[in-house]
Copies of this chain bind each other. A is one copy, B any other.
Amino acid sequence: MSRAFNFCAGPAALPEEVLKQAQDEMLDWQHQAGCSVMEMSHRSAEFISIIEQAEQDLRDLLAIPDRYKVLFMQGGASSQFAMLPMNLLGESTQADYFNTGQWSKKAIAEAKRYCDVNVVASGDDQNFCYVPKAADWKLSESAAYVHYVANETIGGLEFAEVPEVGGKVLVADMSSTLLSRPIDVSRYGVIYAGAQKNIGPAGLTLVIIDESLLGNASAQTPAMFNYEIAAKNGSLYNTPPSYSIYLAGLVFKWLKNLGGLEAMAEINERKAKKLYGFIDQSDFYANPVEIESRSWMNVPFTLASADLDKEFLVQAEQRRLLNLKGHRSVGGMRASIYNAVPEKAVDALIEFMADFEQQQSR
């Protein structure tokens, strides 16, 4: 069959060009290595060139200052939830966390194993449909760092601006927003992201960390959870998820060829505006998130009646529009429109949504 339009929240769509290149050289990298990237020693000159090029391209895309280390790790954001306190607390026993949705809650629960968590602000009073205003934040004095989830994949909520935390070390889970637009890396102590949205296949986690934060891991930190060990070994303390790093590198090249993150941001903003615009003009569809906090990447929406959800999904699949079911904790629908979801996919979705609405109002 042909490829469908894939609105999955993650693992998510990858650029077709990237998959085609990977397919082409699956058995023989660059038609000269004599083996697949999967079969290469991670200490070989070939693989070192792959990981170094991937890092350089990522640095170029995000304009990462030299003082930051780029780490290719494993275990997803869920592993970072423990790594952060293990590595960053030092003498402190407290950390500040924003609570803006399901991923915030998971990060907080895990941090509580290792320290006191001060919740800076929470949107749970209104089912996480807004980013709390700065006037309502309660930052603590003694927190080692301030953590927030830049984009809540499940709720479809995104911080429009970098939180101003008065010189504190700012840590961001950017799993579902990294590479969707330019960011100012210098504002952060740590940025991390599971790969399976805008970066590459699941199983790879990117960490971008100010090197001044290295060296404070607690004695109980496993070697594989220690940022300093990863940094000192160029992400090769043990065998890395090498094929995923290779694919991430192809994605970075694809982004550069496309014009980088400013070009990508323009496309993403246009895609999001189209879809939200359509939802807002309709009396049949609705999105619960306040306008200034809406995610560019994950667009949850409900139908006029939840009884129609099943039929909507059946018809969507018939049109080859896949994975529109909302997260089980929220219900309704969700369209994830990451970098690799083309504008024509959004157009096709809107066309279908309009048809479905009309069909139901007949």
Query: Residue on B with the closest CB to A35?
Result: B6
Please state if B239 and A196 are interface contacts (CB–CB under 8 Å).
yes
Is the C-beta of A114 less than 8 angstroms from some C-beta in chain B?
yes
Is the C-beta of A9 less than 8 angstroms from some C-beta in chain B?
yes
Please state if B3 and A27 are interface contacts (CB–CB under 8 Å).
yes
Which residues of A are interface residues toward B (Cβ below 8 A)? 1-4, 6, 8-14, 16, 19-20, 22-23, 26-28, 31-36, 38-42, 44, 74-79, 81-83, 86, 110, 113-114, 194, 196, 201-204, 219-220, 222-225, 237-244, 247, 320, 322-323
Please state if A78 and B223 are interface contacts (CB–CB under 8 Å).
yes
Please state if B240 and A203 are interface contacts (CB–CB under 8 Å).
yes
Please state if B203 and A243 are interface contacts (CB–CB under 8 Å).
yes
A274 to B171, CA, bound (A): 56
Please state if A3 and B23 are interface contacts (CB–CB under 8 Å).
no
- State which of B39, B113, B223 has its C-beta within 8 Å of the C-beta of A13: B39
A22 to B37, CA, bound (A): 13
A36, A86, A204: most-surrounded residue (chain B CB, <10 A): A36
Please state if A201 and B241 are interface contacts (CB–CB under 8 Å).
yes
Please state if A76 and B203 are interface contacts (CB–CB under 8 Å).
no
A130 to B169, CA, bound (A): 51
Please state if A11 and B40 are interface contacts (CB–CB under 8 Å).
yes
- Chain B residues with Cβ under 8 A from A2's Cβ? 28, 34
- Chain B residues with Cβ under 8 A from A201's Cβ? 38, 241-243
Known: A3-B35, A237-B78, A243-B203. A9 touches B113 (CB 8 A): no
Q: Taking A2-B34, A75-B75 as given, write out 16 further A-B residue pairs in contact, using a Cβ cutoff of 8 Å, ordered by the A residue number.
A: A1-B31, A6-B34, A19-B26, A19-B38, A23-B23, A34-B322, A41-B323, A75-B224, A79-B224, A82-B222, A113-B219, A201-B242, A202-B241, A203-B241, A220-B220, A241-B241
- Chain B residues with Cβ under 8 A from A222's Cβ? 79, 81-83, 86, 110, 113, 222, 225
A8 to B16, CA, bound (A): 31
- Chain B residues with Cβ under 8 A from A14's Cβ? 36, 38-39
Please state if B34 and A11 are interface contacts (CB–CB under 8 Å).
no
A23 to B243, CA, bound (A): 14
Q: Can you list 17 A-B contacts with CB-CB less than 8 angstroms, sorted by A residue number?
A: A6-B39, A8-B40, A8-B41, A11-B41, A16-B27, A19-B26, A23-B23, A23-B27, A34-B322, A41-B323, A44-B323, A77-B238, A78-B224, A82-B223, A82-B225, A114-B220, A194-B239
- State which of B9, B76, B241 has its C-beta within 8 Å of the C-beta of A238: B76
Query: Residue on B with the closest CB to A197?
Result: B239
Min Cβ gap A47→B in Å is: 8
Query: Residue on B with the closest CB to A320?
Result: B34
A3 to B225, CA, bound (A): 36
Please state if B76 and A11 are interface contacts (CB–CB under 8 Å).
no
The 8 tightest CB contacts between A and B, nearest first, are: A203-B241, A4-B34, A82-B222, A23-B26, A78-B238, A74-B74, A203-B203, A38-B201
A23 to B82, CA, bound (A): 36
Known: A12-B39, A223-B78, A223-B81. A27 touches B34 (CB 8 A): no
Min Cβ gap A30→B in Å is: 9
- Chain B residues with Cβ under 8 A from A82's Cβ? 222-225
Min Cβ gap A325→B in Å is: 9
- Chain B residues with Cβ under 8 A from A196's Cβ? 239
